[in-house]
Structure 1
Amino acid sequence: MTENTKIDFIYLSEPDMIRAGVTDMLKCVDTMEEMFALLYKGDYRMAGPNSDSHGAMITFPDESPFPTMPKPTADRRLMAMPAYLGGNFQTSGVKWYSSNIANREKGLPRSILMLILNDIETGAPLAYMSANLLSAYRTGAIPGVGARHLARKDSKIIGLLGPGVMGKTTVSAFVAACPNVDTIKIKGRGQKNLDSFVAWIKETFPQITTIDIVESVEAVVRDSDLVTYCNSGEVGDPSTYPIVKREWVKPGAFLAMPASCSLDEGMEQSDVRKVLDNTGLYEAWYEEVPKPAHHVIPLVGVRCMDMIAEGTLSHEALEDLGKIVSGESPGRQNDEEIIILSVGGMPVEDVAWATVVYRNAIEKGIGVTLNLWDVPALR
Structure 2
Amino acid sequence: MLILGAGEVRAVLDTAQQDVLTAVRTAYELHARGLTAVPHSVFLRFPDDDRNRIIALPAYLGGQHPVSGVKWVSSFPGNISRGLDRASAAIILNSMESGAPEVFLEASAISARRTAAGAALAAATLSSSTPDTGVTLLGCGLINFEVLTYLRTALPSIDTVTLYDLDATRAESFADKALARWPELKIDVAQRAEDALTAHKLVCLATTASTPHLGTEYCRPGTLVLHLSLRDLTAESVLSSVNIVDDADHVCRAATSLHLAEQQTGHRDFITSSIGEILVSGKPYVRDEDTLTVFSPFGLGCLDLAVADLVRREALARGLGASLPGFLPSGEQLFA
Instruction: Compute the TM-score of the two structures, normalised by the length of structure 2.
Output: 0.90
Change (3 A) 1:137 1:93: same
Quick check: 1:249 aligned with 2:219?
yes
Cα deviation for residue 308 of structure 1 reads 4.0
Relative to structure 1, the CA distance from residue 58 to residue 34 in structure 2 (aligned partners, 3 Å threshold; closer, same or farther) is same
1:314-371 deviation per Cα after TM superposition (whole angstroms, max 9, x unaligned): 26x5211110011166621565553210121121111110000110100111111111
Equivalent pair of 2:216/2:237 in contact (CA under 8 Å) = no
Per the alignment, residue 61 of structure 1 pairs with 47
Q: Match of 1:292?
A: none
Hey, what does 1:117 align to over in structure 2? 93
The two structures, once aligned, show a CA RMSD in angstroms of 2.3
Match of 2:74 in 1: 98
Residue 194 of structure 1 pairs with residue 171 of structure 2:
yes
* Residues 29-61 of structure 1 deviation map (CA, whole Å, 9 limit, x = unaligned): 2211111100100111122xxxxx1x1122223
- Whole-angstrom distance in 1 between the partners of 2:101 and 2:181: 35
> Separation in 2 of the partners of 1:305 and 1:22?
39
What amino acid is aligned across from residue 323 of structure 2 in structure 1? T
1:222 counterpart SS class: helix
Deviations 1:169-197 (A, max 9, x none): 12222222211111111011334422321
1:183 aligns with 2:160: yes
* Closer, same or farther: CA 308–113 of 1 in aligned 2, 3 Å: same
Q: Across the two proteins, how many residue pairs are aligned to each other?
A: 331
Write the deviation string for residues 254-275 of structure 1: whole angstroms up to 9, x where unpaired. Answer: 2111112224756633xx3211
Alignment-derived partner of residue 20 in structure 1: 12
2:119 pairs with 126, 134, 143, which one? 143
In the alignment, structure 1 residue 275 sits paired with structure 2 residue 244: yes
Matching residue of 1:45? 37
CA displacement, residues 65-89 of structure 1 (integer Å, 9 cap, x when unaligned): xxxxxxx152x11222111100123
1:352 pairs with 306, 316, 320, which one?
306
Aligned CA distance change for structure 1 residues 268 and 373 (closer, same or farther; 3 Å):
closer
Unaligned runs of 5+ in 2: none
- State the one-letter code of the partner of 1:305: E
Percent identity, aligned pairs only, is: 23
Q: What CA distance in whole angstroms lies between the structure 1 residues aligned with 2:62 and 2:76?
A: 33
Aligned to 1:11: 3
Which runs of 5 or more structure 1 residues have no equivalent in the other structure?
Answer: 1-8, 48-52, 63-71, 286-295
Query: Is the CA contact (8 Å cut-off) linking 2:235 and 2:260 kept in structure 1?
Result: no
1:244 is paired with a residue whose SS is: coil
Deviation, 1:305, is 2.5
Which structure is larger by alpha-carbon Rg, 1 or 2? 1
